[in-house]
Structure 1
Amino acid sequence: MTAERLRQYKSIKAEIEELAEQIQMLESSDIVQGSDREFPYIKHNMKVETGECDHTRDMLKKELGLLKAEYHALNEFINNIADSETRRIFRYRYIEGWTFQKIAFKVGNGDEQVPRKKHNNFLKKYEKYENHML
């Protein structure tokens, strides 16, 4: 896990919501109202199939799946940090989007360098461990 991937957390979350909305709009735009050709002319909804629309929807769903997988991986990484204070620092930094100064006050230390160093040291150790495993 890298700081760069973690910084994408909030943007990925927003993009997931946007893509889900686009997919929903595409799916609802495929539905039209019509009626039977013969009496009593009962009205009902019909789905209109268009190749271009289906292709776009499939692409969006694929992208949505990839983003959800990355979002899940980022959450899992943060939630699996064993040290409580470090886990809180990562949650506040990436999930909440807080500055290190605000995090320092929240975790009980007014010096922003304390959570920043704890954050950076954890990532360095993790990256070293990850590279060693390869």
Structure 2
Amino acid sequence: MTKNRLEEYKSKKDEIRELQQKLDNLGKGDSLIGNDTILDYQTGYPRPQSIVGYDYLKEQHLKNRWRRRLDELTSECMEVELWIENIPDSLTRRIFRMHYMDGKSQEEVAKAIHMSQSNVSRKLKII
């Protein structure tokens, strides 16, 4: 596990929340209502006609794309969480969990486990 991958974990968790919110709210607004123009030949001559409707294909495309990305992010986050949970030392595991999974700063972690911030920083540098 690399430091960079652990740092990306926080951003990926935020992206998961954003995608889930987008999926939950898809179709609730006017974003998928569109209009188009067709030519009507009923009189023998082309007359432009406006058509307004809901874009079901775009909705399905967005759902599929966002679900695929959501599955990828969830899988990557699960790998990081599993790695953190498999840290053998209890104190180090708690520090990693609080800092990366719960999003606490080093100072907040230090207060929670009654250590100095510099000791927390040293524990986080073991990777």
Task: Give the TM-score normalised by structure 2.
Answer: 0.68
Of 69, 75, 84, which aligns to 1:69? 75
The 5 Å alignment of 1:31-50 reads 50=56
Supply the distance in 2 between the matched residues of 1:115 and 1:6 (Cα, whole angstroms).
Answer: 16
Relative distance call for 1:49 and 1:100 in structure 2 (3 A) is closer
Query: Aligned-residue CA RMSD in angstroms?
Result: 2.2
- C-alpha separation between the residues in 1 aligned to 2:28 and 2:118? 50
Q: CA deviation at 1:98?
A: 2.2
Q: Offset of 1:70 from its aligned partner? A: 1.2
The reply to whether residue 85 of structure 1 matches residue 91 of structure 2 is yes
* Larger helix fraction of residues: 1
> 2-side partners of 1:116 and 1:78: how far apart?
16
List 4+ stretches of structure 1 deviating above 3 A. 27-30
Q: 1:53 aligns with which of 23, 42, 59?
A: 59
Shift of 1:80: 1.0
- The structure in which a higher percent of residues are strand is 2
Number of aligned positions between the proteins: 104
Aligned-residue sequence identity (percent) comes to 31
Gaps of 5+ in 2: 33-53
Structure 1 residue 100: Cα displacement: 2.1
Select the structure of larger CA radius of gyration: 2
Q: What letter is aligned with 2:125?
A: N
Instruction: Say yes or no: does 1:114 pair with 2:123.
Output: no
Q: Where does residue 14 of structure 2 map in the other structure?
A: 14
